[in-house]
Amino acid sequence: MKSVNIIGLKKDRKTVLEHLQNSGLIQIKKNDKSAKGFSKTDMSSQMQIFEKNVTLTEQALKAMESFAPEKKGMLSSLEGRREIDPDEIGAIASGAGEIIEICKKINNLNKQLAENSAEQVRIKTALVQLEPWQNLDIPLNTGDTKTTAVFIGTLPKQYDEIALSQELAQENPQLVFDFEIQFQSRDMTCIVMFTPLAQKAMAEEVLRNLGFAKPMSPTRHTPKEKSQRLKNKSQELFKKSEEAKAQIISYADRREDIKNTQDYFRIRADKYNVISQLDQTKHVFVVSGYIPEEDCKDLEEMCERIACCYVEFGEVDPKDAPVKLKNNRFAEPAQGIVSMYSTPSHADVDPTPILAFFFYFFFGMMFSDAGYGLVMVVAIAIVLKIFKPDKKMRNNLKLFQYCGVSTIIWGLIFGSIFGDAPATFYNVFTGADITMKQLLPWPTLDPQKDALLLMVVSIAFGLVHILIGMGCKFYICFKQKDYKAAFFDTGLWMLMLIGFAVLAVGMITTELVMFIGAGIAIACAIGLVLTQGRNKKGIVGKAIGGLASLYDITSYISDLLSYSRLLALGLTTGVMAQVFNMLATMLGTSIPGIIFMIVIFIVGHLVTIGLNALGSYVHTMRLQYVEMFSKFYEGGGKPFEPFSLNSKYFKTKNNKDN
């Protein structure tokens, strides 16, 4: 990684920044303070406008999606951004004003729909409240006359005329009253009661004791008339809502324009954010940042072509430099797995090549079916050909394609092609009794019958995996000239594990090999006891520290046993596939039986592929992160984030991030 300064005339600033953004070559360095003689330009108001426009378009697209959903296929998420010529951005910019006005109209219509919906809820609630009063021929807000007090409301229990009369008389025998029951249910009685005006206070107290409550929304219209008015209003709101929906739908043909405009303002917001960070004078501007060394020549050529600029490259402190992973076509798809864990720091080695090999290797061993691997390879090849996804998605798909190749190889080793499908169908249609081992012309391993052997092989692969991780740690310590840590903290443990492996081999071969392994392990154990407490104070502390370090052997044993999942997952895939093959052939070779066979075969193996591919992915990732990365990988680096087109819907032809 190199540092870079681009010094240009202020009149060329727009051109230079647009080409830098389009190319994605450099990461802009953020400096809060300006160099002497320079200042920064406040672009916050312009950025707020651009970000507001981005929000407007997002809201408009969301509203449009509610009423005019975009027709997408099942695999549409794999499609890459639309590729355009950089000159098309100018055409998008010229129509941006019109599109923003359209977005405002769509958002206003959607707001109107939301308000209408809320009003419809209020109307529905009001109609429910008015329903018990439909037989009342006076308004709910009817007031007192010159001689009579009027009470219209509800009581919180069910009454008939006799029960209510008794209740009122019992509350106050002196009260003179008359009433009509308009509606009654299990927990409510709607009444209209009349008393002499002189007894109004007495009546209010009686009704209060009974839990009387006035209507929530009394009106000057009769309940029936008010209900009809509300229904008419509801119909009018419904009509207006349908008209608003139709107007929103009418803008569906501008969806692509809205998407392009959203990207345009997102790009402009990013550009103005960069402008606010640049050191500038009245006549010149300076762009400071980082650039991968291999891109320096491209940057120089671009600057010479577009403007009169001075480009200066310099060295950068590795601790401050961002990290850009660079690997060959085999390892590049695995960069995403590394980044999910953490970007390498300046002190790390890039683990991507090692991780890529073992990820493909272990995934294939767990998935372990040649038929499934072939499906993965072919399906992903078709997707890559048809959809042309963006770089990130393309790498993810290539990762699984390489895993598919490994799966084919391991499937052939285990003699598994859609489980035992070839042998099963051959036996069903011919009446023979043949196995996959007999059918295939090469020697195979059966995970069910050779489980112990495969368990040993799995742990052996795990030992190699762990030793390579420890070897990386040895290399890092050696590079940092920490020779004690390299030899004592890592080297001795590596030799001890190798000693145990030789010892295990000797137990099934010759005593000489066993003694050699035991000698290596014992010598390393003595070395660990003598060196691991070297940072402790006093002889006793050093001795205790050295002895205690031997306890770490349990963690290594635990790590090695984790690799038994290679056998377990491979066994699961094979058994599930065989079960579905058996189910598929249950009805024989009749026409219904063949139809049943095809359906169960397809559905069953799709289920097996889905479940076991997910399991293989998760457990393979665990073996990388927990068992290997823990031996040497620190992470914590700052990823290289170039100034580029941060677009969602389109990309330019010559952008490096395609």
Is the entire prediction scored with pTM above 0.75? yes
CA of 299: how far to CAs of 13, 260, 317, 645, 652, in Å? 15, 27, 21, 17, 17
Which residues does 453 contact at the CB level (< 8 Å), separation at least 6? 445
Burial (CB count <10 Å: 0-12, 13-18, 19+), residue 528? buried
Q: Say what the alpha-carbon torsion angle 449, 452, 454, 455 is, to the nearest 10 degrees.
A: 140
DSSP 590-648: SHHHHHHHHHHHHHHHHHHHHHHHHHHHHHHHHIIIIIIHHHH----PPBP--S----S
Distance, in Å, from the CA atom of 637 to the CA atom of 642, rounded to the nearest integer, reads: 15
Q: What is the pLDDT of residue 534?
A: 76
Q: What is the pLDDT of residue 535?
A: 75
Q: What is the pLDDT of residue 216?
A: 81
Distance, in Å, from the CA atom of 400 to the CA atom of 325, rounded to the nearest integer, reads: 20
In the chain, where the domains are located: 141-214, 332-435+452-632
Tokens encoding 251: 């803008």
Which residues does 14 contact at the CB level (< 8 Å), separation at least 6? none
Q: What is the pLDDT of residue 72?
A: 77
Establish how many alpha carbons lie within 13 A of residue 64's alpha carbon, considering only the half-sphere containing its beta carbon: 24
Question: Whose CA is closest to 516, among 534, 504, 526, 533?
Answer: 504
Whether 86 and 653 have beta carbons less than 8 Å apart is answered as yes
Q: What is the DSSP letter of 431?
A: -
Q: Are strands 188-196 and 178-185 parallel, antiparallel or unpaired?
A: antiparallel
Which residues does 11 contact at the CB level (< 8 Å), separation at least 6? none
CATH code of 141-214, in short, is 3.30.70.2750
Give the phi and the psi of residue 543 in degrees, each rounded to 5: -65, -45
6 strand-pairing partners: 287, 311
193 strand-pairing partners: 151, 179
Distance, in Å, from the CA atom of 431 to the CA atom of 115, rounded to the nearest integer, reads: 72
- The sign one gets for the Cα dihedral 127, 129, 130, 133 is positive
Distance, in Å, from the CA atom of 461 to the CA atom of 447, rounded to the nearest integer, reads: 16
Which residues does 630 contact at the CB level (< 8 Å), separation at least 6? 469
Question: Whose CA is closest to 191, among 172, 217, 211, 170?
Answer: 211
CA of 164: how far to CAs of 149, 204, 215, 351, in Å? 18, 15, 19, 86
**Mean pLDDT, consecutive 10-residue segments, the chain of 658 residues?**
90 89 89 81 90 94 90 74 82 92 95 94 91 90 92 93 92 92 91 94 94 86 92 95 94 92 92 90 91 91 88 87 91 93 89 95 95 95 89 92 96 93 90 88 89 92 94 91 89 91 88 91 88 78 80 87 91 92 90 92 94 94 92 89 88 65
Query: If you search the block for the tokens 């984790």, which residue do you land on?
Result: 562
Whether 644 and 21 have beta carbons less than 8 Å apart is answered as yes
Q: What is the pLDDT of residue 210?
A: 93
Q: Are strands 82-84 and 650-652 parallel, antiparallel or unpaired?
A: parallel
Establish how many alpha carbons lie within 13 A of residue 390's alpha carbon, considering only the half-sphere containing its beta carbon: 18
Question: Whose CA is closest to 357, among 454, 445, 498, 468?
Answer: 468
Altogether, the residues listed in the chain come to a count of 658
Whether 187 and 179 have beta carbons less than 8 Å apart is answered as no
Which residues does 620 contact at the CB level (< 8 Å), separation at least 6? 359, 362, 363, 366
| Identity of the residue numbered 253 | D
DSSP 290-348: EE-GGGHHHHHHHHHHHS-EEEEEE---TTTS-B-----TTTGGGHHHHHHH----TTS
SS3 call for 189 = strand
Quote the radius of gyration of the chain (alpha carbons, Å): 39
Q: What is the pLDDT of residue 433?
A: 86
Distance, in Å, from the CA atom of 648 to the CA atom of 100, rounded to the nearest integer, reads: 17
- The sign one gets for the Cα dihedral 632, 637, 639, 640 is negative
- H-helix or E-strand containing 190? strand 188-196
CA of 578: how far to CAs of 423, 552, 570, 608, 633, in Å? 10, 41, 13, 10, 40
Q: What is the pLDDT of residue 655?
A: 59
Distance, in Å, from the CA atom of 580 to the CA atom of 39, rounded to the nearest integer, reads: 71
SS3 call for 98 = helix
CA of 269: how far to CAs of 21, 43, 92, 183, 643, in Å? 12, 9, 15, 64, 12
